[in-house]
Structure 1
Amino acid sequence: MKEGHQVKKNEGKYYALGQFLKKKRASLSPEQAGLKEGFRRRVEGLRREEVADLAGLSVDWYTRLEQGRTVHPSADVLLSLSLVLQLNNKERAYLFSLADQRIPDEHTGELIISDGMQHFLDAQQPHPAYITDQRWNMIAWNQATLKIFGNYPKMSGLDRNTVWRAFTDPYMQELLDDWQGHAKRRVSQLRMAFSKTSNNSDLNTFIHQLQEASSLFDSWWNDQTICGTPEGKKLLHHPIVGDIRLNYLSFQSEELPGATITIHLAGDHASLTKLQTLQS
């Protein structure tokens, strides 16, 4: 009796897996998947053969997967389908759970900026809004951020790290009225990340690089001061429009584990006008 019940339970999961894939396939347009729309379609979304081709699978095998057959997809196949169907972190975890698979460790911390998240950042215009990962690297931003804090698309490596820039970039030191307070918060935030992953060789290398690049960072790092707040005020001395007063708020999203979303709002009408001027 128990054995029969287990078979029925597994069949239910395979059916749910197929239905979930079918639903996500129907929710994506060809444009979203990077395909040309071409001729008129009878139904919305992607075709099975398009998903199979993008994921590197045979159409017959993918069809059986959608039909709820017991085909036992591997972790690599599930990761490929997650990318093709543009699943968020929760959806990807759900997909792996239905297939009785474990997400590989190297992919558990991967942060993917969805179209919806980027749209959220863009909707904050003309106010700067951006996302940093758990090591305070800039991973997403809107155009207002670039007008205020710098041209991140042209930066690479260490230059996209906000802690590194705080101590090595003269532009940031001149832009921030309370540069010292900002830099101390960045050190504190980095120390919090270090406390969670102190055995990470890349993080240790980064800290050593900062200690060599800035004696002030080295001094503050050894103080082991913990400070900072998820919200506050900033006075910026912008080289084009002059002083800008901003109120900022930082928060986290379940969609991006370990990442921080920060939004800056104009602190007064004059600052709002200046932000609008920079965008025009």
Structure 2
Amino acid sequence: MAQREELTRFMKAARARLSPADVGLPAGERRRTRGLRREEVATLAGMSVTWYTWFEQGRDVQLSVPMIERLGRALRLEPKEREFLFALAQHRPPPLSSQLDEEVRPGTQALIDALNIPALVIVEDWTVVGWNRLVQRVFRDYAPLPRAERNLFRILMLGQQYRVDPERYREMARRLTARFKWDYSRTASPEVFDVLIAEMRESSEVFAQCWEAAEIRTHFEDVNTAALPEVGQISFHHTSYAIEEVPGQRLILFAPADAESAEKLRRVAEELRAEVAG
């Protein structure tokens, strides 16, 4: 009952902050209260006034996902407000947005910059959108690369340095593809994946074989190695975490896999800090 009351307050407040001019409607006669009327919201959302009224009043009516999406657009809801509406109306998160949010929030960037381990941020199609200086030093500098060349899946699957050991490469490809399949199944932008999948089928026989397999993975953890001329090989255990603030973004952390790697990474981090300070 409390959630229904909150839904009513939320919908009324969302209506109240909009004027007819905000949504392309004529102002009409003088209004006693500010904001849009219920019938105006219903018209904008393509639903009956009665159904909208019952929904706003908190009655036990079930709206479909497309209808809730239309309501969100009609009321000009921000992404977090859209999530809030779905949580109140359907007690679940909304579907992933059809547009990839590639903006790394200041708080996320501050966090990865403060870490003493490599860290990067990817969006759901595995394009790298954020990184710290240790990623640039240990793996690669993404800054000068155009978006099309910052896809981590493509980099890992097609990079020659990952194919030195064929058996190891095939095992990595199997795990990567199984996780990539899971992300593909959940996306609201399959066309973004389709282009990459078609390219990978043409470029990698191993990918084509893995893609035909039935395996899927809902998470991905592994150990990888980076070779730096000044310190030698550093082994990392990497894992990823969803960024709660931005659905579709994931934070990937690379922690030293052993004491020797931790010492080597510490030296690299100290040298990097000295360069920045100097």
User: Which aligned pairs between 1:157-236 and structure 2 lie closer than 5 A?
Assistant: 157-173=147-163, 178-197=168-187, 200-227=190-217, 229-236=219-226
Deviation at 1:143, TM superposition (A): 1.0
SS, match of residue 154 in structure 1: coil
User: In structure 2, how many angstroms separate the alpha carbons of the residues matched to 1:176 and 1:277?
Assistant: 31
User: In structure 2, how many angstroms separate the alpha carbons of the residues matched to 1:244 and 1:152?
Assistant: 20
User: In structure 2, how many angstroms separate the alpha carbons of the residues matched to 1:76 and 1:229?
Assistant: 36
Alignment counterpart, residue 252 of structure 1, candidates 238, 242, 266 = 242
Identity of aligned residues (%): 21
Tell me: CA distance 1:267–1:158, structure 2 relative to 1, closer, same or farther (3 Å): same
Deviation at 1:92, TM superposition (A): 7.2
Deviation at 1:15, TM superposition (A): 11
Report if aligned partners of 1:233, 1:247 keep a CA contact under 8 Å in 2.
Answer: yes
Alignment counterpart, residue 144 of structure 1, candidates 134, 152, 155 = 134
Alignment counterpart, residue 113 of structure 1, candidates 60, 83, 104 = 104
Match of 1:131 in 2: 121
User: In structure 2, how many angstroms separate the alpha carbons of the residues matched to 1:180 and 1:272?
Assistant: 27
Aligned residue identity for 1:214: S
User: In structure 1, how many angstroms separate the alpha carbons of the residues matched to 2:83 and 2:106?
Assistant: 19
Match of 1:262 in 2: 252
For structure 2, the 5+ residue unaligned runs are 1-7, 19-32, 38-43, 45-72, 88-93, 272-278
SS, match of residue 262 in structure 1: strand
Deviation at 1:248, TM superposition (A): 2.3
Deviation string, structure 1 residues 170-215 (Cα, Å, up to 9, x no partner): 2444599944333222211221122234982332121111111112
Tell me: CA distance 1:145–1:10, structure 2 relative to 1, closer, same or farther (3 Å): closer
Deviation string, structure 1 residues 41-78 (Cα, Å, up to 9, x no partner): xxxxxxxxxxxxxxxxxxxxxxxxxxx95389x96996
Report if aligned partners of 1:166, 1:173 keep a CA contact under 8 Å in 2.
Answer: no
User: In structure 1, how many angstroms separate the alpha carbons of the residues matched to 2:166 and 2:260?
Assistant: 18
User: Which aligned pairs between 1:32-51 and structure 2 lie closer than 5 A?
Assistant: none
User: Which aligned pairs between 1:8-47 and structure 2 lie closer than 5 A?
Assistant: 13=13
User: In structure 2, how many angstroms separate the alpha carbons of the residues matched to 1:241 and 1:175?
Assistant: 22
Match of 1:23 in 2: none
SS, match of residue 143 in structure 2: helix
User: In structure 1, how many angstroms separate the alpha carbons of the residues matched to 2:213 and 2:248?
Assistant: 24
TM-score normalised by structure 2 residue count? 0.60
Report if aligned partners of 1:176, 1:234 keep a CA contact under 8 Å in 2.
Answer: no
Report if aligned partners of 1:158, 1:164 keep a CA contact under 8 Å in 2.
Answer: no
Aligned residue identity for 1:249: T
Tell me: CA distance 1:202–1:122, structure 2 relative to 1, closer, same or farther (3 Å): same
For structure 1, the 5+ residue unaligned runs are 1-7, 19-67, 83-88, 98-102
Report if aligned partners of 1:177, 1:234 keep a CA contact under 8 Å in 2.
Answer: no
SS, match of residue 150 in structure 1: coil
Deviation string, structure 1 residues 213-257 (Cα, Å, up to 9, x no partner): 112211221223324744443343344421212222322122121
Tell me: CA distance 1:111–1:70, structure 2 relative to 1, closer, same or farther (3 Å): same
User: In structure 2, how many angstroms separate the alpha carbons of the residues matched to 1:238 and 1:176?
Assistant: 22
User: In structure 2, how many angstroms separate the alpha carbons of the residues matched to 1:178 and 1:70?
Assistant: 62
Aligned residue identity for 2:172: H
SS, match of residue 156 in structure 2: helix
User: In structure 2, how many angstroms separate the alpha carbons of the residues matched to 1:231 and 1:10?
Assistant: 40
Report if aligned partners of 2:226, 2:235 keep a CA contact under 8 Å in 1.
Answer: yes
SS, match of residue 152 in structure 1: coil
Report if aligned partners of 1:230, 1:251 keep a CA contact under 8 Å in 2.
Answer: no
Deviation at 1:161, TM superposition (A): 1.0
